[in-house]
Chain A
């Protein structure tokens, strides 16, 4: 028989289940991913931030010896980071969002956890992670390299938001396509490999030949990188070619299409 104290425990009002709320579930999923993704290594989720910071520091140091004068400004590390970080932001969010339903598959068995919760939690956590990585990298460089810059924080925030939303939109549509045609995951990896070279990372848009400009303007990542540089190199870098409307409209369209397709099909995809 259960003890009297246990009976009292059973009747507590705080144990009453509440109606489902996305915010609560997203928070729970984020906490869970943070405490499990680096489960056995001491330091836990801090590695998600330390890892890219260390990798980027090593890469930047090596490249600094090869390329002494960057096409923009006079600090190679800053030039490199303003191209690499937004690219990683996009890439990471897109990949993590695309795999979110598989990642949370067992949790989706709880009726309270919806596929939208799973998508949002992963997209948001990795956006947050990259904002922190970016903050540490840029602030670190500012102090260590004694940079003479006066950043325009609005443009920087816009660039991060743009990269995050673009990654999320691409992730949503890819989530559907990859679960429907698993081979797409491989094809996507191959197709996007050159993306790092055509997103203005090493050769800024302004330095490209006109023909390349006409085509690559339609690469939304060009605008993400461009806005971040506009913010970091303010006020000297103007970026007259930049458009905020195009990448945002594209991202929202992909996101809407992806969510619509998942909404109609996610149960079949998860059962099969």
Chain B
């Protein structure tokens, strides 16, 4: 469960003040995948960062009784001089998971073969994203943060990745940002619309999508 209590967030870009949250109160229940809808610049990514803990609210607080992932597929922290295996080991230490277990899982899942034990800088972009996706999927979080699902690999790999992804967020919960309504219908059972700094939660995804579509027309 993730709870937002009277959350305000104001930040300044190029001297211009922007408020993306005006007293948001919301509860994201455990084990449910919630879509986050809103137009470009509405503050979806900021809200994700607030939930992840990367940014602090200007006012109010956000708390959670479970573990929350980093945005799925984030690869920015991988060090070029370290092998794939070493990079995975670093993350397992930080998140307190069994080092060998995660390493074995990613090695098999990402299908990097020999490259798994070679420096990350030698990887192709496809290999990089397979590794990043593998690490995100390897760890059991209570809530996964998904900012635009990017498909990785060839058709066969996509099917496998999607399968694992569905199992993970099926057993846990997720907060999903996507511009594809198809993805949202497929993955989420609840949805929220962020508009002008306030968040409206819907128990029915279709209601949220029609609200969102209304907003987009204006």
Contact flag A2-B98 (CB < 8 Å), given A15-B138, A109-B76: no
| B interface residue numbers (CB < 8 A to A) | 52-56, 67-70, 74, 76-77, 79, 81-82, 86, 90-91, 93-98, 101-102, 104-105, 108-109, 137-142, 159-160, 163-164, 167-168
A257 CB–B CB distance under 8 Å:
no
Contact flag A25-B98 (CB < 8 Å), given A36-B82, A106-B76, A111-B54: no
In the assembled complex, how far is the CB of residue B181 from the closest CB belonging to chain A, in whole angstroms? Answer: 27
Other CB < 8 Å A-B pairs besides A35-B82, A109-B74, 9 of them? A2-B163, A2-B164, A9-B101, A10-B105, A15-B138, A15-B139, A17-B139, A24-B93, A110-B91
A149 CB–B CB distance under 8 Å:
no
**In the complex, A267 Cα to B101 Cα: how many Å?**
33
**In the complex, A106 Cα to B159 Cα: how many Å?**
30
Give the interface size class of chain A: 20 to 34
Against B, the Cβ 8 Å flags (1 = close, 0 = not) of A23-38 are 0110110011001100
In the assembled complex, how far is the CB of residue A29 from the closest CB belonging to chain B, in whole angstroms? Answer: 8
- Contact between B53 and A24 (Cβ–Cβ < 8 Å)? no
**In the complex, A17 Cα to B56 Cα: how many Å?**
22
**In the complex, A66 Cα to B48 Cα: how many Å?**
64
- Mind listing 19 A-B residue pairs with CB under 8 Å? A1-B160, A10-B167, A15-B139, A15-B140, A17-B95, A17-B140, A19-B67, A24-B96, A25-B93, A28-B93, A32-B90, A40-B81, A109-B74, A109-B77, A110-B74, A110-B91, A111-B70, A267-B56, A271-B55
A198 CB–B CB distance under 8 Å:
no
A186 CB–B CB distance under 8 Å:
no
List A residues 66-116 near B (Cβ within 8 Å).
106-107, 109-113
Point out the residue from A2, A6, A12, A27 that lies within 8 Å of B93, measured CB to CB: A27
List 10 tightest A-B contacts by C-beta distance, closest first.
A14-B98, A18-B96, A28-B93, A39-B81, A111-B53, A17-B67, A14-B101, A16-B140, A106-B77, A111-B52
Point out the residue from A12, A32, A111 that lies within 8 Å of B98, measured CB to CB: A12
Q: Please name all residues of chain A whose beta carbon is closer than 8 Å to the beta carbon of B55 when the two chains form the complex.
A: 267, 271
**In the complex, A113 Cα to B95 Cα: how many Å?**
9
Contact flag A36-B81 (CB < 8 Å), given A2-B164, A17-B96: yes
Q: Please name all residues of chain A whose beta carbon is closer than 8 Å to the beta carbon of B91 when the two chains form the complex.
A: 110
**In the complex, A12 Cα to B139 Cα: how many Å?**
10
Q: In this complex, what residue of B is CB-closest to A17?
A: B67
**In the complex, A112 Cα to B160 Cα: how many Å?**
28
Q: Please name all residues of chain B whose beta carbon is closer than 8 Å to the beta carbon of A148 when the two chains form the complex.
A: none
In the assembled complex, how far is the CB of residue B163 from the closest CB belonging to chain A, in whole angstroms? Answer: 6
Q: In this complex, what residue of A is CB-closest to B108?
A: A6
Q: Please name all residues of chain A whose beta carbon is closer than 8 Å to the beta carbon of B67 when the two chains form the complex.
A: 16-19
- Contact between A112 and B94 (Cβ–Cβ < 8 Å)? yes
**In the complex, A6 Cα to B93 Cα: how many Å?**
22
Point out the residue from A28, A36, A40, A109 that lies within 8 Å of B70, measured CB to CB: A109
Q: Please name all residues of chain B whose beta carbon is closer than 8 Å to the beta carbon of A5 when the two chains form the complex.
A: 108
- Contact between B94 and A15 (Cβ–Cβ < 8 Å)? no
